[in-house]
Amino acid sequence: MKTSLLIILISFNLLFGKAYGQNGEFLLRKEFIGKIIKDPENADIKYLLEQYALKLDSVWENQNLPLWHCRRNCLDVKFENNKDVLIEYERAKLENLRKEVFNFLLNPSQETTKSDARVQHFSNGKKYPVSTGLVFVTYDQEINNNVLHLFKEIARGIADYKYYLANEIFCLDYSELNKKHKDELDSTVNWRIISSNFFPPPPPPPPPPPSFDSLKSK
């Protein structure tokens, strides 16, 4: 149930960008997940994931969410048994995840299976199409070294996209930007992970078909 609510919530955010600041889950994501994306090498990923999951419970109690479906703007990553990576339900290698995330956000060929883009106005006067995509990650309850590695690779892929935007929009490497432009790109990109340590239960089996005798008696 929580997984579905997370997808609904982020999709609502992507549709109604002006309401970002009013959304509790989005603020939590900026506070905790944003630190992972900003500095995946040094961030305390275990602590940040635990705090995000802990504080998220109170959000559900206070927000009524509209029905929506994430569709193509979510890259679904599952980490089964905290060792097996599935990207869009297909097995993948952890070392390829960074590139997969970057390509999903960039979507240079405008594939229908990758993210949409929306034109955004920047403070230097430039307009540029920015991905509306994010990475939805599901992992088991325990946060072990494999989980930390997984989130580092995803954060690196998102950071690669941010560095790409810096060159495209400001014609500079990200490290050369002034604080204002860095903050502008950070606020655009540093929330692109939704994490959930809750695997939904498998669907119940379908009811058995009626027996031939019971149909006959009717």
Degrees to nearest 5, angle at CA 82 with 79 and 87: 15
Q: Residue 2 — pLDDT band, cuts 50, 70, 90?
A: very low
**Token couple for 140:** 């088991």
pLDDT digits (tens, 9 = 90+) for 113-143: 778 888 999 999 999 999 988 899 988 878 8
20-77 per-position pLDDT tens digit: 334 677 888 888 999 999 999 999 999 998 888 777 766 655 654 433 335 568 899 9
DSSP 113: T
The predicted model scores a pTM of 0.71
Residue 151 backbone phi and psi in degrees, to 5: -70, -35
Cα–Cα distance, 187 to 63 (Å, whole number): 23
Which has the closest alpha carbon to 82: 138, 12, 28? 138
Instruction: Look at residue 82 in the predicted model and tell me its pLDDT.
Output: 75
Find out whether 154 and 97 touch, Cβ atoms under 8 Å.
yes
Give the three-state DSSP class for 181. helix
pLDDT at 18: 38
Length of the chain: 218
Angstrom distance (rounded) from CA 155 to CA 150:
9
Model pLDDT, residue 199: 56
- For 128, the 3-state DSSP assignment is strand
| pLDDT over 80 at 210, yes or no | no
As given in the structure block, the two tokens for residue 16 are: 């109604």
In this prediction, residues 108-113 reach a mean pLDDT of: 75
Which has more confidence, 183 or 201?
A: 183
DSSP letter at 90 equals: E
pLDDT reading at 207 higher than 50:
yes
Q: Which residue has the higher pLDDT, 13 or 15?
A: 13
